[in-house]
Amino acid sequence: MSFKAAEILLIEDSPGDVRLTQEALEAGKVKNHLSVVGDGVKAMAYLRQQGKYAAACRPDLILLDLNLPRKDGREVLAEIKADERLKRIPVVVMTTSDAEEDVLKTYGLHANCYITKPVDFESFIAVVKAIDEFWFSVVRLVAND
């Protein structure tokens, strides 16, 4: 089986986390193409292919950090789920916070998955790999049937 590289949009403001996520994804089995935007405004522009993102690809999976400058992750999630064209894109909410409020609000906005970024890098790789495999092996196969 040969797959087209999975298109992933990482919405993350922390360069360190971007780097670590890239590392983790590279350690994974699935071929992917990662695009990164640093805040919520840019993220929505990207998804709606506006401005400089007019040529942007529609992502297969969105990794969303909740704590973003300008427009935060909750708003972004809400807009995605309210947008007929975007709402079907799976969104994995990644955050350093496992505060209860975040959890509840996020689920209320229909995030597809929620994970807390662990401090331990091996754990982080394991988490990213698990997402990676779940969404691109299991889900897409089902979608392609």
Partner 1 sequence: MINRAMNILLVEDNPADARLVQEMLAEANGLAPHLERADRLSQALTRLRQGGIDVVLLDLSLPDSHGLDTLRRLRAGAPEVTVIGLTGHHDESAAIAAVEAGAEDYLVKGRFDREVLTRALRYAMARQRAEAALTRERDLLSTFMDNVPDLIYFKDAASRFLRVNRAQAEVLGVDPEEAVGKTDFDFFTPEHAQAAYADEQQIIRTGRPIVGKLERIRTASGKFLWVSTTKVARRDSSGQIVGTFGVTRDISEARRAQGELEQFFMLAQDMLCIAGFDGYVKRISPVCEKIFGYTPEEVQAQPFLTFVHPEEHPKWLAELQKLSAGGVTHEFESRARCRDGSYKWILWNAAADLGEGLIYASGRDITERKEAELASQALLASIVQSSEDAIIGKDLDGRIVSWNKGAERIYGYTAEEVLGKPISILMPSGRAEELAQIMARLKRGEAIPAHEADRMAKGGKRLSVSVSISPLRDADGRVTGASAIARDITEQKRAEAALQRNISFVKLLQRVAMAANQATSVKEAIQQCLELICAHIGCPIGHACLLAADPAAGLSPTTLWHLDPGASFETFRRSVEAGDSLLAASLVASVRNTGRPVWAADTESDVHFQGAVLARRCGIRSGFCFPVLAGTEVVGVLAFFSTALLERDDACLEVMAHVGTQIGRVVERQRAEDAIRKLNEDLDRRVRDRTAELEAINKELEAFTYSVSHDLRAPLRHIDGFSKILMDEYTPRLPPEAQKYLERVRLGAQHMGRLVDDLLRLARVGRQGLALADTSLDALVHDVIQNLQGEASGRQVEWKVGCLPRVTCDPALIKQVFQNLLSNALKYTRTRPQAVIEVNCASGDGEDIFVVRDNGVGFDMKYADKLYGVFQRLHRSEDFEGTGVGLAIVQRIIHKHGGRVWAEAEPDKGAAFFFTLGPWEGA
Nearer to partner 1, 32 or 95 (CB): 95
- The region of 37-45, 53-61, 93-101, 128-136 touching partner 1 under the rule CB under 8 A is 93-101
| Min separation Cβ 89 and partner 1, Å | 25
Asked if 136 contacts 61 with a C-beta cutoff of 8 angstroms, the reply is yes
| Min separation Cβ 39 and partner 1, Å | 16
- The region of 50-58, 76-84, 119-127, 128-136 touching partner 1 under the rule CB under 8 A is 119-127
Question: What burial letters (b/e) apply to 71-92, b meaning 16+ CB within 10 Å?
Answer: bebbbbbebbbeeeebeebbbb
**Separation in Å, CA 37 to CA 33, 42, 57, 62, 123:** 13, 6, 13, 11, 24
Does 84 interact with partner 1 (rule: CB under 8 A)? no
Does 98 interact with partner 1 (rule: CB under 8 A)? yes
Rounded distance, CA 126 to CA 66, Å? 20
| Min separation Cβ 88 and partner 1, Å | 30
